[in-house]
Amino acid sequence: MIILRNIFKSFGEKHVHQGVNLEVRDRETLVILGKSGGGKSVLLKMIIGLLQPDSGSITVDGFEVTTMKYRELQKLRLKFGFLFQGAALFDSMTVGENIELALRRHSEYKESDISERVQYALELVKLHNVEHLMPSSISGGMKKRVGLARAIALTPKYMLYDEPTTGLDVETADGINLLMNELKTTLGVTSIVVTHDIHSAFVIGDRFAIFENGRFILTGTKEELRSSADPEVRKYIESEIQI
């Protein structure tokens, strides 16, 4: 369970978060929808302590993140898989090395099992024979999927997806949606998904949170979203109907 209480965060004069409250229940997929530049990526980073809020509290499984010592923070981060918006692959390493890196350091896998595990992670994201390629030589969509493989390699309890399907063709995007649902049903992964892809949102989401002007203006199920009269919320619903 992840709970955010009254989060405030500014960068200089830019007040990005102004009282964010959010609860993510175990084994659910919560989708965050919101305008570009609103502060969604920053929010995800604060959950694993990559950025500090100016005030407010963030708890994961009952432990306060904002005051954690470094060692505890590292333990916490191992519970999380993070898919970055731009994939953030290490560009001095091959695709295989990108996925191996954390396995080597944080898992008990033997050398032979590691390559098997890399294969398995790549298969999950429907990639074959790419281990030896450098990130600079693969397409944006492939990078996303490698980033996803890297994030799930250590079988995290929580997944944070920053725009997992943006920039992918429909077929690959559907594949990723399927995979996200599979991770939830088979491994019981709890997920937060930031997305602009409203179609994908409704395929994977259990609950939805609309981020607007530094806070969540509505959090609820698809039905609750549909019955809302708020014009900001209606925008999202109507854009789905158009599809």
Partner 1 sequence: MSKSYSGKSFSFHPFSKIGKTTTRFFEFLGKYLSITWWMIRNLRNAKEYSRNITQQMVMIGNNSIPIVIFVSTFVGMVTAVQSSYQLYDWIPRTVVGALVTKSVLLELTPLLIALVLAGKVGATITAELGSMRVTEQIDALEALAFDPISFLITPRVLAGIFMFPILIIFGDLVAILGGMFGASAVAGIPVEAFISGMKSSFETWDAVFGIIKAVVFGYIITSISCYLGFIVEGGSEGVARATMNTVVLTCLTVVVMDFILASVLL
Ligand X SMILES: Nc1ncnc2c1ncn2[C@@H]1O[C@H](COP(=O)(O)OP(=O)(O)OP(=O)(O)O)[C@@H](O)[C@H]1O
Please tell me whether residue 101 binds partner 1 under the rule CB under 8 A.
yes
Angle at 38 between CA 65 and CA 82, to 5 degrees: 45
CB 82 within 8 A of CB 160: yes
Q: Minimum CB separation from ligand X for residue 156, in Å? A: 21
Q: Which does 42 bind (CB under 5 to 8 A by kind): partner 1, Mg ion, ligand X, none?
A: ligand X
DSSP string of 109-130, one letter each residue: --HHHHHHHHHHHHHHTT--S-
Binding part of the chain for ligand X, among 29-37, 100-108, 135-143, 180-188 by CB under 6 A, reads: 29-37
CB 17 within 8 A of CB 52: no
CB nearer to Mg ion: pick between 11 and 63? 11
What are the E-state strand segments in 61-203? 63-64, 80-83, 158-162, 190-194
Q: Which 24-83 residues touch Mg ion, going by CB under 5 A?
A: 41
Task: Write the binding mask 35 to 74 for ligand X: x where contact by CB under 6 A, - elsewhere.
Answer: -xxxxxxx--------------------------------
For residue 147, CA distances in Å to 115, 188, 192, 207 come to 17, 20, 16, 25
Q: Which does 36 bind (CB under 5 to 8 A by kind): ligand X, partner 1, Mg ion, none?
A: ligand X
Q: Minimum CB separation from ligand X for residue 32, in Å? A: 9
Q: Which 72-131 residues touch Mg ion, going by CB under 5 A?
A: 85
Rounded Cα gap, residues 190 and 193, in angstroms: 10
Positions that interact with ligand X (CB under 6 A): 11, 14, 16, 34, 36-42, 85
